[in-house]
Chains A and B, each alone.
Chain A
Amino acid sequence: MNSTDLVNGLKNGDKKIIDLLYDQYAGALYGIIIKIVKNEELAEDVLQDSFIKIWKNGPKFNASKGSLFTWMLNISRNTAIDKTRSSHYRQLESKQKIDFQITNHLNWSYTPKTEHIGLNKVVNGLDDKYREIIDLIYFQGFTQQEVHEHLNIPLGTVKSRLRIGLRELRTFFSVQRVSIIVLLIGLLG
């Protein structure tokens, strides 16, 4: 199934598409949601609500405005941020100081997909100062202004670090693609 079929299916409210999208992206979205709400149970709720919204809003998705993943991420991120503003979340937060560590909270083990094992090392090599800004902006929906206030670094620096960080990611993932192609050619040849 290609991306056009996916988008068409989504527009028609096809349940099978949600099944496929879930298998493909739920892990990535869940990983981001959990960074925002910092609680497994809430993150599950948010993921569930997000996918229902994705299904309901499918007909509104416009491929010319952005990628499917970005659109799904926006829905998930907004749902997560809304959750953190809810009274329930505030109660929870005040009752127990959340000392959040994903690895301690998860009672089933996270095995990275094989195709990503090799990537981990390299992307982990992305300098923390870039990674922090990408994570805050992309995953948690901070504006550049908010990052500037939150981290107390000049706005110009926030912008240039985001730009450099994204450039490094781009380079890394395009090199990755080239090396996979080279590997394939090697195997076939």
Chain B
Amino acid sequence: MNKDQFLNTGLLEQYALGLTDENENLEVEKYLNAFPELKKEVDEIRNAVEQYAIQQAIPPHPRVKANIMAGIDELQGSKPSGGRAGSSNNWMKALLILGFAGIFGLLFLYTQKNAQNQDLKREFAELQIACDQQNERIQANQLEFLFMKHRYTQKVILASSNPSSHTKAVAFWNPNEKKGLVSLGSLPELPEDQQYQIWADVDHVMISVGLLENDYDGLQDIAYLAEAESLNITIEPLGGSTAPTVEKLVVSGLL
């Protein structure tokens, strides 16, 4: 019998409705195993007729339930698997469950505490790093401050050659310490593919003394050249140039 022939027997519906005998059950189950989609159909039929039956429910008189419960109570004494025999067993089960629950509870608390501990350690390490960084920054600031206050430190204002422009940068230059610092001051922000570069004029030759970071407000180190006569900042492609782009000179100042 193929699938369609089988479906035509009407056995599948009888089976889904629970109206087949043992032999018929075996027959139907053979087809269910061969065609899993029929299994789904059986489940759907069962669900649908169940809903259908529930929909047509009529509530029985409450005495019926009371009678049933009383009937079961009466029979329970004679039923070996029910009631008292199981009760000590149930106690044991309850105790076991409680025991396991306790162990799992402790285990849970332990892992939680452990995780908390790890978190605290991580947080502490992070704070320590932050603290070290702050210290370094303070030290650097102190050094900068001392450097600026140094009696040989010369403050150089770098200004635009265009008198209408108020753009300015500032440099600190110290021949004694052989050290130079520069701040971008009010120089405009540059697009990402460009960068300020600072040049020292030595005997009319421009020598690069540093590439400046775009968005850094603080003081940046530049190279110190004893023979430098002036400092000049130009706009160059990101990464800097070997020779200054003179037409992109922004500010300059004499030393």
A residues adjacent to B (C-beta < 8 A): 12-13, 15, 18-19, 22, 25-32, 34, 43-44, 47-48, 51-52, 55-56, 59, 65-67, 69-71, 73-74, 102, 106, 108, 110, 112-113, 116, 119-120, 123, 134, 137-139, 141, 143-144, 158-159, 162-163, 166, 169-170, 172-174, 176
With both chains docked as a complex, state the minimum distance between the C-beta of A179 and any C-beta of chain B, in angstroms: 14
How far does the alpha carbon of A65 sit from the alpha carbon of B86 in the complex, in Å?
Answer: 28
With both chains docked as a complex, state the minimum distance between the C-beta of A64 and any C-beta of chain B, in angstroms: 10
Contact present for A31 and B56 (CB under 8 Å): yes
How far does the alpha carbon of A189 sit from the alpha carbon of B60 in the complex, in Å?
Answer: 40
B residues adjacent to A (C-beta < 8 A): 7-10, 13-14, 16-19, 25, 41, 44-61, 63-65, 67-69, 71-73, 75-76, 79, 81-82, 86
Q: What residues of A have a CB within 8 angstroms of the CB of B67 in the complex?
A: 48
Given A30-B59, A110-B58, A119-B51: 12 more A-B contacts, CB < 8 Å: A30-B57, A48-B64, A48-B71, A56-B79, A59-B81, A66-B18, A74-B18, A74-B19, A120-B55, A139-B53, A170-B47, A173-B52
Q: Is the interface of A mostly helix, strand, loop or mixed?
A: helix
Contact present for A15 and B45 (CB under 8 Å): no
With A48-B68, A143-B19 already in contact, the answer to whether A166 and B60 are too (CB < 8 A) is no
With both chains docked as a complex, state the minimum distance between the C-beta of B117 and any C-beta of chain A, in angstroms: 39
How far does the alpha carbon of A173 sit from the alpha carbon of B68 in the complex, in Å?
Answer: 32
How far does the alpha carbon of A59 sit from the alpha carbon of B80 in the complex, in Å?
Answer: 12
Contact present for A134 and B52 (CB under 8 Å): yes
Contact present for B82 and A69 (CB under 8 Å): no
With A66-B18, A69-B46, A137-B17 already in contact, the answer to whether A15 and B55 are too (CB < 8 A) is no
**Residue from B9, B64, B81, B82 having most chain A Cβ neighbours under 10 A:** B64
Contact present for A123 and B55 (CB under 8 Å): yes
With both chains docked as a complex, state the minimum distance between the C-beta of B241 and any C-beta of chain A, in angstroms: 59
